Amino acid sequence: MDLKNIDCRHFKGDKPCRFSQNKMCLPFQNQDCPAFEPIEKMTLIIKLGALGDVLRTTTLLPALKKNDPHGSIVWLTSPAAVPLLENSGVYKVLPWNLDSVLWAENVQWNRVISLDKEEGPTTLASRARASRRYGFGRNKHGLLIPLSRASEYLFLLGIDDQEKFRINKKTYPHLIAEACDLEWGPNPYVLNLSEKEINWGNSIIPNSKEHPHIGLNVGSGEAFAGKKWPMENFVKLAQQLTNEGFVPVFLGGAKEKDLYEKLKNEGKAPGLFPGCEFSLREFMAIVSKLKAMVAGDTLAMHIGIALGVWQVTLFGSTTEREIEFYGKGEALVENIPCAPCYKRVCPTKEECMSKISVERVFEAIKRGLNNRW
Ligand code: SF4
The tens place of each residue's pLDDT in the chain, 373 residues long, gives 678 889 999 998 898 888 888 778 888 888 889 999 999 999 999 999 999 999 999 999 999 999 999 999 999 999 999 999 999 999 999 999 999 999 999 999 999 999 999 999 999 999 999 999 999 999 999 999 999 999 999 999 999 999 999 999 999 999 999 999 999 999 999 999 999 999 999 999 988 888 999 999 998 877 787 778 999 999 999 999 999 999 999 999 998 899 999 999 999 999 999 999 999 999 999 999 999 999 999 999 999 999 999 999 999 999 999 999 999 999 999 989 999 999 989 999 899 999 999 999 999 999 999 855 4
Nearest CA, atom 2, ligand 1: 338
Distance 256 CA to ligand 1 centre (A): 21
- Report all structural domains of the chain as residue ranges with CATH numbers, in order of start: 39-179 (3.40.50), 195-372 (3.40.50.2000)
Tell whether the torsion through CA atoms of 115, 121, 122 and 128 is positive or negative. negative
Q: Is the pTM of this model over 0.85?
A: yes
Neighbours of 21 (CB within 10 A): 8
Q: From edge to edge, which strands make up the β-sheet containing 310-315?
A: 247-251, 213-217, 292-296, 310-315, 329-333
Angle (CA) 186-188-191 rounded to 5° is 175
Q: Which of 314, 317, 355 to mutate to test the pocket of ligand 1 (most atoms within 8 A of CB)?
A: 317
Nearest-atom index, ligand 1, CA of 346: 6
What's the farthest any 2 CA atoms get from each other in the chain? 74
Nearest atom of ligand 1 to the alpha carbon of 341:
4
Q: Within 6 Å (CB) of ligand 1, which residues are found?
A: 225-226, 316-317, 336, 338-339, 341, 343, 346-348, 350-352
Helices (H), the chain: 51-57, 60-67, 98-106, 119-127, 152-159, 161-162, 172-179, 195-204, 231-243, 257-266, 280-287, 299-306, 351-354, 358-372
Res 20: pLDDT:
83
Q: Measured in angstroms, how far is the CA atom of residue 348 from the centroid of ligand 1? A: 7
